[in-house]
Amino acid sequence: MPVKVMIPTPLRQFADKQESVHLEAGTVGDALSALTSQFSDLKRHLYSDDGRLRSFVNVYVNDEDIRYLQREKTAVQQGDTISIVPSIAGGAKA
């Protein structure tokens, strides 16, 4: 299914400065896999070393958070928009 993936501003430098990318995918996981295959430098910013999406990386399908759907197994339909949205965290002491 052709879907659109919206790239957040801080990651556009690793995706040829594109705001969005069109990909073929059946699930959110497929789309993110295709995205990081096409733009390999994105991978370290989206995934931790154990291969899981980083906690501050939020993914929405048409404005619905995939944590409330089937996470990366969430199916996507033709024309869906997948958005990667940052959350921001930190703190003084490790």
* Site of interaction with other proteins (CB under 8 A): 8-11, 13-14, 41, 44-45, 55-56, 58, 65, 85-94
Q: Nearest distance from residue 27's CB to other proteins, in Å?
A: 21
The smaller minimum CB distance to other proteins, of residues 50 and 92, is found at 92
- Six-digit token string for 77: 């339909």
**Nearest to 75, CA basis, from 25, 41, 10:** 25
Least Å from the CB of residue 2 to other proteins: 25
> What is the H or E stretch that residue 84 is in?
strand 81-86
